[in-house]
Amino acid sequence: MNDLFLRACRREPVERPPVWMMRQAGRYLPEYRAVRQRADFLTMVGTPELAVEVTLQPVDLLGVDAAIIFSDILVIPQAMGMGLSVEDGIGPRFHQPLRAPAEFDRLRDPVPERDLGYVLDALRLARRELEGRVPLIGFAGAPWTLMSYMVEGEGSKAFTHAKRLLVQEPARAHALLARLAQAVGAFLVAQVRAGAQAVQLFDSWASALGPRDFREFALPYLAEAVRIARGAGVPVIAFAPGAGWALEEIAAAAAADVIGIDWQTDAADARRRLGDRQVALQGNLDPCWLYAPPAVIRTRTHEMLAAFGGRGHIANLGHGINPDVPVANAKAFIDAVKEWRAP
């Protein structure tokens, strides 16, 4: 078994850094688009056979060193009772955003095996079909990111509804965030029991918060979810894109095994700032650099790897891969990592 990824998570010596890509089971792959033509996004997420089919594609086609289960961070709010649609070109949208107090009260606390069994089934099936080739990663959205989506109803530039809640009704926000931290933690533990060999928390909308709000409304709940997930005994990755300024605080508060680094953060700077912490780093090539000619991708990738310095590093993009990236360019990134050796 290729266990480079798990060894890098634990900062053990590796021949070379492992590599995978966020959103690697995605639209840039013609094989993914073929499945997507037969089923809409939420059907794919909800049907273990389809989810596993696309989960395995980048392993087979690109040779990445880890598989991440095909799913969505919004399955938790959905399991709490919020109706969800995903429309092409628009993205996910809740039928009724969370606004009135009664809507908060109506949410139920999800029980993973009962309410999210289809994700757990997909993990079990993926583990079987992977046959040990590469490790399998589970994931969930972090509490702030889930709450901001639930309140906003859809993706947003400024998240003004969610941020209005923080200043107008902080107690209501804290109550929901605390519930979400428990739900997220329990879901990640269940994912590990179902076969996930590592889990990643995505605080995708960390960028919507300034330092004060991040410290009050995001970080403590991210940390609590990490704490619960770590109880399951596998590496936990915390990724808060847009909060590069907070790397030290995330490392101190959240005690994750791995910290994700976004593409806006200088790799050498991240390594320097976190160098004396017992933490591995994951990232962080700018996804837009995959539009470059393969020779440039190779150079930039090698520069990035050198900046992270090898050990305790998992090569990845600093954000999900864009849907219009040519497969050959994604492959150029993967291959550039594989040929690199620490000096």
User: Which positions touch a copy of itself (CB under 8 A)?
Assistant: 157-160, 163-164, 166-168, 207, 210-213, 242, 244-245, 263-266, 269, 286, 288-289, 291-293, 296, 318, 322, 324
Shortest spacing between CB 322 and a copy of itself, in angstroms: 6
Shortest spacing between CB 283 and a copy of itself, in angstroms: 11
Alpha helix segments (H runs only) across the chain: 4-9, 30-38, 41-46, 48-62, 75-79, 101-105, 112-115, 117-130, 143-152, 160-168, 170-193, 211-213, 219-230, 247-254, 267-274, 294-308, 327-339
- The answer to whether the CB of 91 falls within 8 A of the CB of 155 is yes
Report residue 205 as tokens.
């909308």
Shortest spacing between CB 265 and a copy of itself, in angstroms: 7
Q: Which of 56, 59, 81, 60 shows the shortest CA–CA distance to 69?
A: 56
List 16, 28, 32, 36, catalytic entry: 36
List 11, 23, 93, 311, catalytic entry: 23
* 28 part of the active site: no
**Residue 39 or 295 with smaller CB distance to a copy of itself:** 295
Cis peptide before 2 (omega within 30 of 0): no
**Residue 110 or 153 with smaller CB distance to a copy of itself:** 153
Shortest spacing between CB 260 and a copy of itself, in angstroms: 15
* 23 part of the active site: yes
List 28, 32, 65, 72, catalytic entry: 72
Q: Which of 278, 220, 218 shows the shortest CA–CA distance to 242?
A: 218
**Residue 112 or 244 with smaller CB distance to a copy of itself:** 244
* 298 part of the active site: no
Q: Give dist(CA 134, CA 63) in Å, integer.
A: 9
Please give the positions annotated as active site.
23, 27, 36, 72, 149
